[in-house]
Amino acid sequence: MNSGAQPGHVYLVGAGPGNPDLLTLRAADLLRTADVILPDDLVSEDVLALASPTAEIIAVGKRCGQPRITQAGIHGLMLEHAQADRSVLRLKSGDPLVFGRAGEELAALREAGIPVEIVPGISVAFAVAADLQIPLTDRASASKLILATAHHAEGKVELSPSWSGAFPDDATLVIYMPGRNFGALASDLIASGIPQETPCVAVSKASTPLQHVCATTLGDLHVAAIGPAPVVLLIGRAIKLP
């Protein structure tokens, strides 16, 4: 059985969608015992409240898309503190392996020979589906689940996820970080073959007291009353509120 955070180790940990009740036991244990915590901005204050009072918390996320620190700077902080024999908790919203730049951070840690452990978290798509009691897959209508993002690396200009050929009609599409240009996003998806009448649910600030749910169709997405970021968008024939 794993003990608490160990000196000289880095932990890439999923903080879930925001509600501390949805943390894994391992994540909660590491929060209580880590020397240094490097959270993204989407990690909730309720989750960070579980940290040890002696932990040094250094926020490394983004505000309004503007980084307060580069990705290389994050790598540097992890290495600096781990090499100083401190335990480092790199805390990411949702799951660290889903749109969390874990690959880049793992590469930096492995190159430096730093011991690393990955702790999965509940990704927002699964938290939203559970809370709203809507299946992401269904034997009659959705045999595929596609996780995508409309947020791309610097230099890419796509407004929406892209793929070759027509979009499969038996899939549920979950779009993380869809941006705010929902009209352009909907147009791109309709052009890919998704019918305008396909059900959509946009959830803002999932699992928190400020959660806002907007049910609409793809054709009406541009006029829907969608809440503030962060937003996750679920699209597909299986996506129907009870």
pTM score above 0.85:
yes
Q: What is the pLDDT of residue 65?
A: 53
Superfamily of domain 124-235: Tetrapyrrole methylase, C-terminal domain (3.30.950.10)
Q: How many CA atoms lie within 13 A of 232 on its CB side?
A: 22
Which residues are designated catalytic?
40, 62, 177
Token pair in block for residue 1: 């059985």
- Residues 176/98, Cβ–Cβ less than 8 Å: yes
Per-residue exposure over 192-231, b if at least 16 CB sit within 10 Å of its own CB, e if not? eebeeebbbbbbbbbbeeebeebbbebbebeeeebbeebb
| Sign of the C-alpha dihedral computed for residues 143, 149, 153 and 159 taken in this order | positive
Give the residue extent of every domain in the chain: 10-119, 124-235
Mean pLDDT over each residue of the chain, to the nearest integer: 91
Q: What does the alpha-carbon distance between residue 99 and residue 24 come to, in Å, rounded to a whole number?
A: 19
Q: What is the pLDDT of residue 157?
A: 44
Q: What is the pLDDT of residue 66?
A: 57
Nearest to residue 10, comparing CAs of 37, 32, 28? 37
Please give the CATH architecture assigned to the domain spanning 10-119: 3-Layer(aba) Sandwich (3.40)
Q: How many CA atoms lie within 13 A of 52 on its CB side?
A: 18
Task: Please write the tens of the pLDDT for every residue from 13-64.
Answer: 999 999 999 999 999 999 999 999 999 999 999 999 999 999 999 999 865 5
Helices (H), the chain: 25-33, 45-48, 71-83, 102-112, 124-132, 182-191
For the chain, give the number of residues: 242
Q: What is the pLDDT of residue 103?
A: 95
Task: Please write the tens of the pLDDT for every residue from 155-167.
Answer: 444 456 766 677 8
Task: Please write the tens of the pLDDT for every residue from 212-228.
Answer: 999 999 999 999 999 99
Q: What does the alpha-carbon distance between residue 221 and residue 122 come to, in Å, rounded to a whole number?
A: 26
- Residues 106/144, Cβ–Cβ less than 8 Å: no
Task: Please write the tens of the pLDDT for every residue from 77-106.
Answer: 999 999 999 999 999 999 999 998 999 999
**158 three-state secondary structure:** coil
